[in-house]
Amino acid sequence: MVVSELLLDVQDLNVSFATEEGIVQAVDEVSFKLHAGEVLAVVGESGSGKSVTAMTLMGLTRSPNARFAGSAKLRDLDLVTAGDDELRAVRAEEIAMIFQDPMTSLNPVHRIGRQIVEQIQAHRSVSDGEARDQVVALLERVGIPRARERFDSYPHEFSGGMRQRVMIAMALSCEPAVLIADEPTTALDVTIQAQILEVLKELRTETNAGIILVTHDLGVVADIADRIAVMYAGRIVEQGTTDEVFYNPQHPYTWGLLGSITRVDRPRPQRLPSIPGLPPSLIRPPQGCHFRPRCPHAHDACLLKPELAPRVGGETGHTDRCVLTPERKRELRKAEGQIGLVAGGVTE
Amino acid sequence: MGRFIARRVVGMVVVMFAVSVLTFLIFNVVPNGDPAVRMAGKNSTPVQIAAIKKEWGFDQPLYTQYTTTMEKVFTGDLISYANQTNVVEEIKRGLPRTFALAIGAALLWFAMGTALGLYTAIRAGRFSDTLVTVLALTGVSMPVFWLGALASYYLGFKLALFPNGGYAEIGEAGLWEWVKHMILPWCVLATLFIGVYSRVLRSNVLDTINDDYVRTARAKGLSERRVMIHHVLRNSLIPIVTLWGLDFGMVLGGGAILTETVFDLQGVGQYFAESVGQLDVPPVLAVTLFGAFFIVLLNTLVDIVYAALDPRIRLS
């Protein structure tokens, strides 16, 4: 891959919230980089900290109960420590976000066109007429038919898919360098999901923006992501290129995730395998490896906190948080057959 | 829209008919309610009473009495039983006083309720929030006749900062005198509502502030002020506007009886209270109709404004 501009450099990001039950460590030592034109997928189940990570980059998790550590540098600005005004200046302009639920993310009492114009005019001094033209062009670009008429519609007059297109148009309106899409298709029908992903794919080639795609759906990821970060209980447990994570997964949790997708290139099992147990409480997470209580291969060494480190060869930065040796992992995966896409012996 | 208004007009006629019949009947079953006996005085003979009954038509069947009374309401010929004055003229005299009180107080309580509600929501959980909350609850708990009497006695009589009750015509006494007469009634009447409105708005704002579209507004890089006013307050105010319209209609229709009486404003509400005390059916009937008219009118206006404020609502 051509080396392109480093947009976002997240180092050891920690986010915790004080609650009545105790301190919730929602994000634990999360580090990743995002380059221009790259799509990074952050994958994990509910409560894995992926949305909190995304929101923190936008400064949307700030509250009197939240504590932050580490850094998240957007070019030269640390988003974790940035002042309110600095943050406001980069929001939408440099880093924009598409939210999970398009049904509630637009203000019901304002016209959709005005809601986008509002954002443009918060950052740039453009006349109403000019902003209107820009918005109509954006709405057309994300595939809203009769955009000039729909400018004056209210959100309730749109379907979920159309609203998500409006949200995408809004996020694009200031041409941000980084676009965060937080489960952009979760609330939508399957057919609409594919359309929205198509829009995102086009954008990435057209705008050269860096995209962070937060999702729990590995199927969504395979098609669009360049790199994948798998999160579990607040930590990144594996990170690498899409091919590395899909074809040579190193963490037993990733195996479990991959094992629980339906495959069209395999005989269908009687029931889809699932990972036994539940994700741990983030107030009192298990000692050492967070996945240990659910991991079939756990042993004494797992009681120490595993570092996110490169354990397999390669220069692309394939890292994981499992202390087993790559050789041992290969044996285990082979023995289980079903887990991971590697089972046919692709890596040999 | 046209159909909506037509339906509301029909509704208004039905409501006013029902209200008038009920009011009329109630006063015919009230003990000591016989107007002829009251008009004849203490030492009257049955012959005198019979004469009065005949003269005023009290010997007619009830429905005839009702229709003739209602006819007089609309022709403006309605005469009070107690003091033989023209009821419609009396209401016309009280109208500017009641309107002055209602409009001023309603604007005051809306503005103050909104300001305090927003302020306490933003400062939620801090000392200033607690302080204003205590004050608001105190305001709600103070009876108008008591607060009004206190204000009138200390600020009006003792300190002589304000006139001690009464009303001044703008045309005769000038704008400043008029305002001086109205300040205490406005404040006293508004106090109760400010307490209620600020509490309702506070909880609306705290609900709205966690809505997804407010998060979107922040993510757009808008200033906190714009987020609060354009997104949070704009949506939180919708139910408050509804509430305000209904309360305003009630006060406009003579509902501020206590305030008018305590400050001797001689408005429609005070006229109503005095008439009820004398079991004087014509003015009570007329003012009740007058009040019902404003309540139904403001209800209709509230629905129209509500649909304008929230595009998801359609008038039907």
Tens digits of residue pLDDT in B7-16: 888 988 999 9
Chain B nearest C-alpha distance from A96 (Å) = 7
Q: Do B312 and A156 touch (CB under 8 A)?
A: yes
pLDDT in tens, A43-64: 998 889 999 999 999 999 999 8
pLDDT tens track for B123-142: 988 999 999 999 999 988 99
Mean pLDDT calculated for residue range B240-268: 91
Hey, are the CB atoms on A109 and B217 less than 8 Å from each other? no
pLDDT band at A229 (very low <50, low <70, confident <90, very high): very high
The region of weakest confidence among A23-32, A82-91, A246-255 is: A246-255
Residue B255 is predicted with a pLDDT of 84
- Asked whether residue A339 carries a pLDDT value surpassing 80, the answer given is no
Task: Round to whole Å and give the CA distance between B266 and A281.
Answer: 69
- Say what the pLDDT of residue B81 is: 87
Decide if B46 contacts B52 (C-beta within 8 A): no
pTM of this structure: 0.83
Spatial separation of the C-alpha atoms in residues A32 and A40, rounded to whole Å? 9
Average pLDDT over residues A243-251: 90
The answer to whether B213 contacts A170, with C-beta atoms less than 8 Å apart, is no
Number of H helices, E strands in chain B: 15, 0
Of A101, A107, A122, the CB nearest to B221: A122
Residue pLDDT, tens place only, B246-256: 999 999 988 88
Cα–Cα distance, A274 to A83 (Å, whole number): 44
For residue B316, pLDDT over 70 is answered with no
Contacts of A58 in chain B (CB under 8 A): 219
Distance between first and last Cα of chain A? 24
Does A99 sit within 8 Å of B215, measured CB to CB?
Answer: yes
pLDDT (0 to 100) of residue A344: 39
According to the model, what pLDDT value does residue A341 have? 43
A63, A77, A107: best to mutate for the B interface, most B CBs within 10 A: A107
Mean local confidence (pLDDT), A87-101: 93
Compare A162 and A271 and report the one with higher pLDDT.
Answer: A162
Mean pLDDT of chain B: 90
ipTM over 0.90? The verdict is no
The whole-angstrom distance between B209's CA and the closest CA on chain A is: 12
Whole-number Å distance between alpha carbons of A35 and A246: 21
Alpha-carbon span A249 to A43, nearest angstrom: 13
Of B16, B5, B125, the C-alpha closest to B73 is B16
- pLDDT band for position A266 (cuts 50, 70, 90): low
Q: Does A58 touch chain B (CB under 8 A)?
A: yes
Contacts of A105 in chain B (CB under 8 A): 212-213, 215-216
B213 with A105: Cβ contact below 8 A? yes
Q: Does domain B96-266+287-315 have CATH number 1.10.3720.10?
A: yes
Rounded mean pLDDT, A57-86 = 94
DSSP B86: B
Please say if the pLDDT value at position A225 is more than 80: yes
Proportion of chain A above pLDDT 90, given as a percent = 57
User: Residues of chain B with pLDDT > 70: what percent?
Assistant: 100
How confident is the model at residue A315, as a pLDDT? 64
**Residue A73 belongs to what H/E stretch?**
strand A66-74
Average pLDDT over residues B66-85: 89
B237 in reach of chain A (CB within 8 A)? no
Q: CB–CB of A91 and B216 under 8 A?
A: no
Task: Output the average pLDDT for chain A.
Answer: 88
Pairing of strands A178-182, A210-215: parallel
- Which of A60, A101, A109 shows the shortest C-beta gap to B218? A60
Of A313-317, B52-56, B112-116, give the range with the top mean pLDDT: B112-116
Whole-number percent of chain B with pLDDT over 90: 52
State the DSSP H helix or E strand holding residue B135, giving kind and residue range, or none if neither. Answer: helix B127-141
pLDDT band at A219 (very low <50, low <70, confident <90, very high): confident
Question: Does residue B145 contact residue B260 with C-beta atoms inside 8 Å?
Answer: no
Tokens of A75: 């070019």
Q: B159: how many CB neighbours lie within 10 A of its CB?
A: 9
Q: Exposed/middle/buried for A40, CB within 10 Å: 0-12, 13-18, 19+?
A: buried
CA distance B270 to A341: 86
Q: Is B221 on the interface with A (CB under 8 A)?
A: yes
**A23-35 and A77-78 beta bridge pairing:** unpaired
Q: Which of B220, B234, B309 minimises the CB distance to A122? A: B220
Inter-residue contact A155 to A163 (CB < 8 Å): yes
CA atoms of A206 and A80, how far apart (whole Å): 29
| pLDDT band at residue A138 using 50, 70 and 90 as cut-offs | very high
pLDDT value for A346: 36
Query: Who among A97, A104, A109 is closest to B219 (CB)?
Result: A97
According to DSSP, the β-strands at A39-43 and A66-74 are unpaired
State yes or no: pLDDT of B104 exceeds 70. Answer: yes
pLDDT of the residue at A343:
39
Cα distance between residue B313 and residue B238, in whole Å: 11
Q: DSSP 3-state helix, strand, coil percentages of chain B (rounded to 5)?
A: 80, 0, 20
| Cα A90 from Cα A103, distance rounded (Å) | 25
Q: What backbone torsions phi and psi does residue B163 show, to the nearest 5 degrees?
A: -60, 150
CATH 1.10.3720.10 maps onto chain B at 96-266+287-315
Q: What is the pLDDT of residues A267-293, one digit of tens each?
A: 666 667 778 788 888 888 999 999 999
Dihedral-angle region of residue A146 (phi above 0 means left; psi in -120 to 50 means alpha; beta otherwise): left
Yes or no: say if B27 and B282 are a contact pair by the CB < 8 Å rule.
Answer: no
d(CA B156, CA B164): 5
**Interface A-B: count of C-beta contacts within 8 A:** 74
* Integer Cα distance of A233 and A46 in angstroms: 9
- The set of residues, in sequence order, having a beta carbon less than 8 Å from that of B297 and lying 6+ positions away, is B12, B249
Strand A319-320 to A235-241 pairing: antiparallel
Q: Cβ distance A18 to A191 under 8 Å? A: no
pLDDT one-digit tens code per residue, B18-39 = 999 998 888 888 877 788 888 8
* pLDDT higher than 70, residue A77: yes
Cβ–Cβ of A89/B223 closer than 8 Å? no
